Structure 1
Amino acid sequence: MSWIAPPPDGGGDRRRGAVVVTAGGGEGVELRAALVRLRRATGLPVAFGGLIEEGLRLRIGELSGAATGALRGLGVSNGSGLGGKTLALGRPCAVTDYRTSRHISHEYDSAVETEGLRSVLAVPVVVRRRVRGVLYGALRTAQPLGDRALTAAVDAARDIEQALVVRDEAHALLAAAREPVAGPGAWEQVREAHGALRALAPRIVDPALRAELLAVCGRLAGASAAPPEHTVRLAPREVDVLACVASGATNTATAARLGLRPETVKGYLRSAMRKLGAHTRLEAVVAARRAGLLP
């Protein structure tokens, strides 16, 4: 038995949609977390997955619940095996008994047999209509995988998709922040980049990438030629709020941008103003710039 889910709304042919992941492997943090959530939600004993790498080939990079390392590092080509079929079609696929299924090719039977897998489902990770990877869930017995397992696998894939979107945004902002700027609007560009990076950093799961974003924020904030007039310590979220305020955002807009409640934004703003000795939002921004906390 096997099944192929229909394409999601707004789908379309994704067979040419694979892209190269070039972020340096930090995506494994998000992938590992998604596999753990998948197993908890379904009770499946094994989950594994990988992302597209150079050469447009899927590489199995993360395992959860595996008894052996047979699947780790396995390269899956487009159209080959269950994962390759999922890559080619851009939609979930499953088999009830992997080794006897006539609906897939069998290039990877040795690794699957070594791990003792029988019933397997595969779900694509799709970002902006392009396949970026595949998540697998599996049983060591030949029995149908129901809708609960499929739904949980799709949800786990969506989590990774959102993480990859955020990661892509982060790398784009980092690249833009490193570009030299000149002209009358240069300083405003620096401030916009700083605010965008501060707002994005808390959404980054990978600690190394998050630290890199915050380090760039620090360099942008200290880009002024004038040394800080005095030392003030603000909490990270207080700086985030001030960075949004500096761009002209209202409390409501700041809350939406940072994923906070408007009342929480007001609390951070009041605290920052008190520490800076400011009586208005504008005074707080000016004081934060003088203290080297904002560019």
Structure 2
Amino acid sequence: MTSAAPEPPDARAAELVEAAVLADLARRVVADCGADVGLVGVPDGPDGMVLRHWAGTRADLLHNLRVPAGTGLGGRALAERAPTWVADYRAATTISHHYDAAVGADDLYAMLTVPLVNGGRVHGVVYASMRSVVPFGDVRIGSVNDLARTATRAIAGAAAWAGRSSGPGTGARLTPREHEVLRWAATGRTSPEIAARLGLAGTTVTGYLKGAMHKLGARNRVELLVTARRHGLIS
């Protein structure tokens, strides 16, 4: 039997850098942003993540917890590729409550989650959690976002150094607005519904979708979504 070829040293080094950056991110959320607990989930297959890094936890129910996309607050951030937060996780009505036992074991209430996105690829989701019911102000949200952006740049830099792509080539060509409209289209919203949600004209939304079709080589909306999912631009 032929053994699998060893992983190139540079690729392995990039993976070690990524793990170190994400572990440091969890610690800095606590040290620099005043959170009680910092967590970072890393992708696990095409439709979920696993909480691999943590700081400030008292129990271990959140450790190595798998979170499918769309479930809980972090799974919602993963699916929508956008930050989301609640002042009281336990009373929140906008998220699923699959992880109440794990959250309760660590006595957590307020929670903020920020996805680490670069070139259409999600590198993970960072959580900043508090053991009290408090609203997340602009300063704390901004500081967590800044840490997330810094970590994402470091991971992308390590991947580039190792000669790996930090995401599908086509993803880097989509503008942020095209990507945003594409994400909403993937949820089944019509162009008028997307326009109303984003405060845009219907023709503007259509223009963004046509731009994405052209860049991804798709001929219609269905083909656009299929191609985007294949490239990992949407879940």
* TM-score higher than 0.5: yes
CA RMSD of aligned residues (A): 2.0
User: Which residue in 1 is equivalent to 2:142?
Assistant: 151
Contact 1:127/1:164 (CA < 8 Å) preserved in 2?
no
Q: Could you tell me the TM-score, scaled by structure 1's length?
A: 0.49
Asked if 1:60 is matched to 2:51, the reply is yes
Q: 1:71 aligns with which of 62, 68, 76?
A: 62
- Secondary structure at 2:156 match in 1: helix
User: Which residue in 1 is equivalent to 2:29?
Assistant: 38
**Structure 2 counterparts to residues 69-148 of structure 1, below 5 A:** 69-148=60-139
**Percent pairwise identity:** 31
How many angstroms does 1:25 deviate by?
5.7
Return the letter of the residue paired with 2:110. S
User: Which residue in 2 is equivalent to 1:29?
Assistant: 20
Looking at structure 1, the residues matched to 79 and 15 of structure 2 have their Cα atoms a distance apart, in angstroms, of: 25
Which of 1 and 2 has greater Rg?
1
How many angstroms does 1:24 deviate by?
4.9
Q: Which runs of 5+ in 2 are unaligned?
A: 1-10, 165-235
Looking at structure 2, the residues matched to 67 and 58 of structure 1 have their Cα atoms a distance apart, in angstroms, of: 21
- Secondary structure at 2:54 match in 1: strand
Higher relative contact order, structure no. (Cα contacts within 8 Å, ≥ 6 residues apart): 2
Looking at structure 2, the residues matched to 55 and 110 of structure 1 have their Cα atoms a distance apart, in angstroms, of: 25
Between stretches 162-171 and 82-91, larger displacement belongs to 162-171
How many angstroms does 1:43 deviate by?
1.4
Q: 1:171 aligns with which of 141, 145, 162?
A: 162
How many angstroms does 1:27 deviate by?
2.0
The 4+ residue runs of structure 1 with deviation greater than 4 A are 21-26
Looking at structure 1, the residues matched to 31 and 139 of structure 2 have their Cα atoms a distance apart, in angstroms, of: 12
- Secondary structure at 2:38 match in 1: strand
Q: Which runs of 5+ in 1 are unaligned?
A: 1-20, 174-295
Looking at structure 2, the residues matched to 42 and 161 of structure 1 have their Cα atoms a distance apart, in angstroms, of: 17
Contact 1:68/1:114 (CA < 8 Å) preserved in 2?
yes
Q: 1:161 aligns with which of 152, 162, 176?
A: 152
How many angstroms does 1:44 deviate by?
1.3
> When the two structures are aligned, how many residues end up with a matched partner?
153
Return the letter of the residue paired with 2:55. S
Return the letter of the residue paired with 2:72. G
Contact 1:34/1:159 (CA < 8 Å) preserved in 2?
no
How many angstroms does 1:166 deviate by?
1.4
How many angstroms does 1:168 deviate by?
1.3
Per-residue displacement from partner, 1:231-254 (whole Å, max 9, x unpaired)?
xxxxxxxxxxxxxxxxxxxxxxxx
Per-residue displacement from partner, 1:91-127 (whole Å, max 9, x unpaired)?
1100111111100001111111111100000001001
